[in-house]
Structure formats: structure tokens, C-alpha cells
Structure 1
């Protein structure tokens, strides 16, 4: 049976939009009896926790390092301090969640415990550090969230990591890497060794190891599909595969540095690399028709490009409160990052609130750039908006973000799509956004289901938003049309897009 693999670099504690899209695709394929898994390239000892928090089951994902560490279904008793057998040492001195042990008056071992929470058992070991007689760090052991020692960093004379070893739950060495200083001054892993049931395998770098991992997966089933959702992080290993698979490259974001042009001509190196490996690619996918048309013009003439939206709206709210009965609450759902230009949104809101003192702006999003967050906090204070602007953590409960909102705001420098505007529209919340090439321009019917304003024109954005807030009749119509537009992203519509693109056969599912 064909297995569908969705490739990403990491499942973080707070999922990005791309990983949310992968999960929705996973559920969609499962509903149509298409076996699927999310593939995670990077090492992360918190992977199981992050996946569980996101609602994934063990069979829904495969981490490369878990695979080689034979830890995909680890069932172990979490390690505690007593398991380290440090009785011969002096102490410990206890400070918060750190326990320090001594030998002849010097620090010998530090044990860090995971914080008390529902995610961990009480007194569960997080990290153990071992020190040399001269006080330098000799070794640091890191424990998987499930309880076993997962990785050791071994330090050299210069204080940097010299070797890294990763273990299976029984303590056997499964992966080893050597670290060296590169000409650019960075210290990076320059060689990997994997010990599996087929013997010992040596790789020059992590992409080569990733290719071997994908080949191993590919041999488990017949005619597998790979959907590459993170090309800039995945392609370097994907294109080194020796076995044959059907590969689709999904561009969730812009493919050119000239993304504001109607028809970009220059492309990012990642796309050029895909063009150079076209023989390995069955087709390209994008979330919008506008981007698909632009992408087709820079790809070879025989390249296949299809539109498959990156969002699947499940459990659409059956009814929503009339927008005229909601408070004047404006929302944005976005990561805190320079790309999103939230400084412009806040500057525009400072003008809006002068005309509408009762207005409030809620920004839901996880912080990807703390410097940006500090600058935004400074702007809020400088503009005296502390009571009118609130930063909130992202929540999976869409009703908490959109149910009582009147408008969704979008001031990004660029977008591949923007799932927040569709989710907001499903609650009858129209978007006021910049008129970007991809995403807003494809989803919003200007003056009907939302508003598009000139890019980077803060004054015009504020003016049009203020005018809309004063016209309740227009806002009610726009809310109704936005909700109708969102309903086109239901599960069955997206499945038809996958079949129309040939990603899955019409007979499947």
C-alpha cells in the first residue's frame, strides 16, 4: 500500500502554520483511508511531548533520530537522581530544580530536573553535567522527555563540543557525530555514524544521513509519496535518495526575493536547486492560483504546477453571532516576526483608536523573534496603547480568537497564504489587509468579503479600517460574504483539489 510522507524539519512546542497544515492534511488523508505520516528531520528530545500536545498519535509521525535510536515507541521508567548512583559524592546542594554534588570541595556533578508540571513526572531528570578537576565541563547528558538518557555532549580541551553520542532507550550507542571548527569559525558536526541492524554506516553530513533514513522508510512500502513542506531544510537530503519515490514540492511561502512583482523573474536558490533536480519531482504545489501561475512561468515548460490550499477547515461553526452585536475588537493571529510588520499594524491602530476609543486590538501569536517583540512593546508604550493593545499566546481554540471579533488585520510584508484570515472568515470576521500578491489577493473579494489596501501605506490602512467600523450595514454584508468564502475550504473541497492535482488517484480513498 502507498504511504504518504509529509516532510518537515521540526515539530515545535507551538506549531507553525506549515506544521498545522501538515496535521490537517494528515487527518484529511486518514479520513479517505490514505496511510500517512509526518516525517521530522531534526533531533529533539521533546518531540514526543510536542507531538502529543498537538494531538498526534505514535503512528502519525516518525522522527529520524527516534528511528535510528530505536525509540519510536519507548516505554521506560523516567530516570531520577537515585538512578545516577552518586552516593560517593558530597552534597547535594539544592537550588530550585538544580542539585549540585561535590568531590573534595569542587563541583563534580550538576543535575537539572524538569520543572514540576503535567508534562513530566516529579523529580524527573532533564540534564546531568559532569565537570573535570579544573572546573571545565567534561560531559553533558540530556534526557528524553520520556525518561531515558538520549544524548551526550563530550567536550574538548578548548571547551567546545568535540563529540556527540545518542542512545537507544536501553543505553546502547546508536548515533555518533564529530564536531570540528569550520573556516567560518562555526563549530559544526562534520561526520555522522549510525549503528543499526544492518551494521555501521558513515555519513559526511546530516543531509546524507537524512537521505539514508528516507531510503529506509521508502523500502517499507511500495510506491510511496513524499510531500516536501520545508524545501529549504529538506531538499538537500531528499535529492540524495537512492530509491525511487513520487515527490511533490509544496511552496507554502514566496519563491522569489522579488515577491512584490507581478511576475518575479529571480528565484531563491532553493527553487533553483529543485529545478536542477526536476527529474526527481512529480510536481509543485502552491496554496493559491496567483502563485501557481507565477511559479509556472519560472519553472521549465514541462513542469507540473497545481493549486492545493494549505488549510482544511474542519468543524466549521454552524452559527455565529451577528457581527453588529460584537464588541469593536480587532484581531491578528500571527507569529511575532519581522515579516508580519506588526509595527505598521500598531501604528495604524493608533490612528484607528483616536476615532474609535472603544476599539481593542488582540494580537495572538508565539514569539519567533524576541527583538521584534521588544520593539513592539516599546511602540505600544510610546503610543500610549497599553490598555488598547494586548499580546496573547496563540491558541488552538479558534473561537477564543475570532468568535467575538469584528475585523482581522493583516499587514505582512509578504505571504504565501495566511491561514488566520480564512479561520477568521469562518467566524464571519472579514479581513482588512495589504494587497499582497499571494494569499490576501486570492482569498479576499475586495469591497465584498474584505478590504485590500496599498502595501505599506499605514495611513490608508487606518483610514479604510476606521470607515468600515463606522458602517455597520456594510460590515454585516462583508461578514456574511467572508463566511461564505471560508466555506470553500472545507475538507471535501480540499480533497477534490488533491485528486484534481493528481497527488492522489481518484480511485484512492
Structure 2
């Protein structure tokens, strides 16, 4: 990648007229990312690698703020593109996601819509599909947005309140559970013990609170 026409290579940097234009960055002796710099020294593009394969690319504006991020498939073709606009305190705001899938291009306003699409595709044609969430912050809203109806459950790995008491303050990620259960957007709760299942049933006003003991081998 450094050995390009018109560039002089010195170590991990390729230069043009004495100015760095491509810089290779390593981590643990492996290729991590490659910066492509313009004539003024700004990094306009950064390619990230995993085990030698390019996985995604970030494009920057003049404040080094991300304006787009592209993810590649196994053949190196662009699969997903994230688009950003300027936000407060120089923090980019995600405004559009484009997905190329099955010869079509889909648009999503946020990652939850993209996750819902992924889950819909995952369960398509599977009459026995069941979805279990153990990351409420990244998946519960996607359950709401799904177009296909499959059994969905929330599993508790630890206490659902900040102080560990059944009547304590709920963690923010669990606040939607009661409404989702009532609306049929969630089919039940899963706990590790009978006591925890009883506490969850009472706190979230549901009879669909089940026990799956934690086991180890």
C-alpha cells in the first residue's frame, strides 16, 4: 500500500515532495490502520484492518471529525455506510445509514432501525426462532421496531435495581420492560433463581417470568 507511483517510502511512511501522504500504523506488530493525508497534512481517510483484511474506512473533514464510515464485506465491497453531520462540541451526529443487501439499498435513520432489520432477516423462515436480549441498551428498542413477530425475552444476569433490592430504583435500561410486556413487544423475563423470577414478576407486573438456572461445566 505504501509502494505507490510518485511516492518515496521510508519505513512506515510514504511521502511526496517531502510531505507524508500515507502512514501505516501498527499495533502489537500487526497492521492496525493506514492514514491517507492531503497536501496540508490532514488525514482525509483512515483504513482499519483486522488480520490483514480491510474492515472499514473513516473519512474526515478539516476538524478531524468523521463525516462517513464504510464497512466492507468479505470481498472488499462496501456493505454499510454511516453518514455524519457536525454536532455540538465537535462531536459528529449520525444522520443516515445505508445498507447494500441482496441487490437492494436500504436506508436507516439510526442503528436501532438497522438492528431491527438484521433481526428480521435472522428469523425469516424460522418457525422456531426465539430472541433473548442480555443487552437491553442495544437491543430492546430494536425488538419494538421489528416487523416479524417472534417470541422475545429479556434475561437478567444480575439485579435489575441499582441497590439490588426488588423495590429499589430501576436501572434505566429496564424501565421500558413493563410497557413492552403489556404491549406484547416482549414475551417474558428470564432469571437465574426462583426468588429473582418472583421479584421480577412483581416488579414488572407480569406472570411471564421464568427461571433458567446458571450452570457451568
Q: TM-score, normalised by structure 1?
A: 0.40
Aligned equivalent of 2:69: 164
CA drift of 1:178 comes to 0.9
Distance across 1 between alignment mates of 2:102 and 2:211: 42
Out of 140, 144, 148, the position equivalent to 2:50 is 144
CA contact (8 A) 2:65 2:91 kept: no
- CA distance in 1: counterparts of 2:88 and 2:111, whole angstroms: 19
Q: Deviations over 1:144-179 (max 9, x none)?
A: 32x322111000122211111112232221111112
Residues of 1 paired with 2:15 and 2:185: CA distance?
57
Q: What secondary structure sits across from 2:56 in the alignment?
A: strand
Higher helix share: 1
Q: For 1:225, which of 115, 130, 134 is the aligned residue?
A: 130
Aligned-residue offset at 1:224: 0.5
Matched, 1:103 2:16: yes
Aligned to 2:4: 86
* 1:113 Cα deviation from its structure 2 partner: 3.9
Post-superposition offset of 1:290: 2.9
Per the TM alignment, residue 257 of structure 1 is displaced from its structure 2 partner at its CA by 2.4
Contact 1:257 1:267 in 2 (8 A): yes
* Secondary structure class of the residue paired with 1:277: helix
- Pairwise mapping of residues 363-374 of structure 1 onto structure 2 (< 5 A)? none
Q: Note if contact 1:153-1:164 (Cα within 8 Å) is conserved in structure 2.
A: yes
Is residue 246–residue 282 contact of structure 1 (8 Å, CA) maintained in 2? yes
Q: Secondary structure at the match of 2:117?
A: helix
Q: SS at the partner of 2:175?
A: helix
Is the Cα contact below 8 Å between 1:223 and 1:246 reproduced in 2?
Answer: no
- Check the 8 A contact 1:258/1:264 in 2, yes or no: no
Q: Report if aligned partners of 1:248, 1:283 keep a CA contact under 8 Å in 2.
A: yes
Gaps in structure 2 of 5+ consecutive residues? none
Report matched runs for 1:269-288 at 5 Å. 269-278=172-181, 279-288=184-193
Q: What whole-Å deviation, never above 9, does each CA across 1:199-240 have from its counterpart, x for those lacking one? A: 010000011000000001110422301111111222122221
Larger fraction in strand: 2
Q: 1:149, 1:169 within 8 Å by CA — same for their partners in 2?
A: no
Counterpart residue number, 1:307: 211
Segment drifting more, 136-145 vs 199-208: 136-145
How far does residue 90 in structure 1 lie from its aligned partner after superposition?
Answer: 0.9
Classify 1:109/1:273 alpha carbon distance in 2 versus 1 (closer, same or farther; 3 Å): same
Runs of 4+ in 1 over 6 A off after TM superposition: none
> Hey, what's the Cα distance between the residues in 1 that align with 2:73 and 2:6?
27
Shift, 1:265, TM fit: 4.8
Q: Using CA pairs below 8 Å that are at least 6 residues apart, which structure has the higher relative contact order?
A: 1
List per-residue Cα deviations over 1:229-254 (Å, max 9, x = no partner). 11122212222111011111101122
Question: 1:186 & 1:111 partners in 2: Cα distance?
Answer: 26
Closer, same or farther: CA 249–203 of 1 in aligned 2, 3 Å: same
Q: Which structure has the bigger radius of gyration?
A: 1
Unaligned runs of 5+ in 1: 1-80, 117-123, 315-509
Name the CA shift for 1:127/1:245 in 2 (closer, same or farther; >3 Å): same
- Distance in 1 (alpha carbons) for counterparts of 2:92 and 2:153: 34
Shift of 1:291: 2.2
Structure 1 residue 183, shift from structure 2 partner: 4.6
Q: Deviations over 1:6-57 (max 9, x none)?
A: xxxxxxxxxxxxxxxxxxxxxxxxxxxxxxxxxxxxxxxxxxxxxxxxxxxx
Q: What whole-Å deviation, never above 9, does each CA across 1:322-356 have from its counterpart, x for those lacking one?
A: xxxxxxxxxxxxxxxxxxxxxxxxxxxxxxxxxxx
Query: d(CA) in 2 for partners of 1:297 and 1:230?
Result: 22
Change in CA separation of 1:180 and 1:253 when aligned onto 2, cut-off 3 Å: farther
TM-score, normalised with respect to structure 2: 0.89
CA RMSD of aligned residues (A): 2.0
- Cα deviations by residue, 1:280-304 (Å, 9 ceiling, x for unpaired): 222101112332222121112x431
The alpha-carbon distance between structure 1 residues 221 and 198, as it changes in their structure 2 partners (threshold 3 A), is farther
Query: Helix, strand or coil for the counterpart of 1:176?
Result: strand
**Structure 1 pair 189–112 and aligned structure 2 pair: CA distance change class (3 A):** same
Judge conservation of contact 1:141–1:151 (CA < 8 Å) in 2: yes
**1:109–1:129 contact (8 Å) kept in structure 2:** yes
Residue 130 of structure 1 deviates from its aligned partner by: 0.4
